[in-house]
Homo-oligomer: A and B are copies of this chain.
Amino acid sequence: MTNTTPSGQQHADTLIHARWIIPVDGSRTILEDHSLAITDGKITALLPTADAKAHWSADIIQNLAEHTLIPGFINTHGHAAMSLFRGLSDDLPVIEWLNNHIWPAEGQFVNEDFVHDGTRLAMAEMIRGGTTTFSDNYFFPEAAGHAALEGGMRCQLVFPVLDFPTGWAKDAANYISKGLDTIDLFRNQDSILVGFGPHAPYSVSDAPLKEIITLSEQLDVNVQMHIHESAQEIKESIEKTGMRPLRRLAELGFLSPRLQCTHMTQLNEAEIQLIAQNGCSVIHCPESNLKLASGFSPVARLQQAGVNVAIGTDGCASNNDLDMLGETRTASLIAKAVGQDATALSAWGALEAATINGARAMGIDTQTGSLEIGKQADIAAIAMNELENLPVYNPVSQLIYTASRNQFTHVWVNGKALMEDRHLTTLDEAWLKQRANYWQKRISASRQG
């Protein structure tokens, strides 16, 4: 709510004067020398800085004369706590990596403490890189949700569902039951969405998938699943069921606008149409797909078919960072070579994928994903005056193709500053470094033993 005083002056909680504002509102407009006003956590005005300085007052004024304001990134797929496994094992065949490294480490170490520490470490990295919303698919989702509340980030928790036991649950029914408790736990938290995260077609059988369809409709919550990540997955599905995984999911009635299909590196033209017709979103995780040699998602073809494509970093075990700016650049670069078209996923298109498209995938695009009046103030400010960014012919191009994540200086979620001049306000960096070292020592010792 904007307050107008009797003198005609207007007042905001926070007023940010910026060199450039990129609203990502669909118009592909860049506002130069503009200001953004925040009151009660919402964006209340976007106006020329000259007007703002003449007619507005605020409790907090930020002068960001060399900066660009963008909607905070939406990291639409990840496993936050796996930040503690960052670089634990690399450059291995995928089966060996999973069977001999990641799954044993998860079995031995993943508990509430691990998720508590690892999610906070991940959030610190994400906030420092301009991310305001993240999706998390991991065990002990209630611990991740509490971390998100403490850290102040907007969050979608998609709790795992698997046929087999892990440290968190013992069978599909048990995962679903614990997940429903998580939905209840965060029901009154506006900044936390909870939905279903059935792992993958090959690890969840038909009965729980049918139950997830029914429950997700009844509760009106999202579903996110790793689908068509690798050629191996397709081959095994055909051997086992006679069908490619997407066909099986379609026959079960699993495809809907609430479904976020993650990875999707193996797609034929009919499958692209199927995804488009059912209004599913695709969550593109290019660096994970490259690093695990999974393949290339046909992003340009998906977009041409009308599919909403968002971006995710995936977890740190397979990336090895949560750098949404770097991920978005990679998405743009690789879309061109894969599509054999240098105009594919332009700087503008990539920025939209990393912001508003993520909000659309989660169904929260009326609240966040762009800088528009009435939306929540989820904002990232990036300094664009490094030598590496000059000359600036086009601020969007310089953002996507030349800037680095360390140039983000300020981040706000719901109008609250989570980072100010590179200082985190909700998370303790020194404590996080201690915890990272603690887990490194424990995990390394066990692997040498």
Residues in B with CB closer than 8 Å to A88 are 393
Q: Tell whether, in the assembled complex, residue A387 and residue B124 are in contact, meaning their CB atoms are under 8 Å apart.
A: yes
Q: Tell whether, in the assembled complex, residue A342 and residue B97 are in contact, meaning their CB atoms are under 8 Å apart.
A: yes
Q: Which of A208-216, A304-312, A331-339, A362-370 contacts B (4 or more CB under 8 A)?
A: A331-339
Q: Is there a chain B Cβ closer than 8 Å to A293's Cβ?
A: yes
Of B84, B385, B390, the contact of A440 (CB 8 Å cutoff): B390
Given contacts A346-B91, A347-B90, contact A125 B387 (CB under 8 A): yes
Of B125, B340, B341, B347, the contact of A388 (CB 8 Å cutoff): B125
Interface string of A383-407 (1 = CB under 8 A from B): 0010110111110011001101110
Q: Tell whether, in the assembled complex, residue B337 and residue A294 are in contact, meaning their CB atoms are under 8 Å apart.
A: yes
Q: Which residue of B lies closest to A436 (CB)?
A: B390
Q: Is there a chain B Cβ closer than 8 Å to A429's Cβ?
A: yes
Determine how close the nearest CB of chain B comes to the CB of A201; give it in whole angstroms: 21
Q: Tell whether, in the assembled complex, residue B437 and residue A391 are in contact, meaning their CB atoms are under 8 Å apart.
A: yes
Q: Tell whether, in the assembled complex, residue B90 and residue A394 are in contact, meaning their CB atoms are under 8 Å apart.
A: yes
Interface size on A, residues (CB 8 A): 68
Given contacts A93-B342, A320-B401, A401-B321, contact A390 B292 (CB under 8 A): no
Q: Tell whether, in the assembled complex, residue B439 and residue A336 are in contact, meaning their CB atoms are under 8 Å apart.
A: no
Q: Tell whether, in the assembled complex, residue A290 and residue B337 are in contact, meaning their CB atoms are under 8 Å apart.
A: yes
Q: Tell whether, in the assembled complex, residue B336 and residue A290 are in contact, meaning their CB atoms are under 8 Å apart.
A: yes
Residues in B with CB closer than 8 Å to A404 are 323, 404-406
Q: Tell whether, in the assembled complex, residue B401 and residue A87 are in contact, meaning their CB atoms are under 8 Å apart.
A: yes
Residues in B with CB closer than 8 Å to A121 are 387, 390
Q: Is there a chain B Cβ closer than 8 Å to A433's Cβ?
A: yes
Interface string of A317-336 (1 = CB under 8 A from B): 00111010010001001101
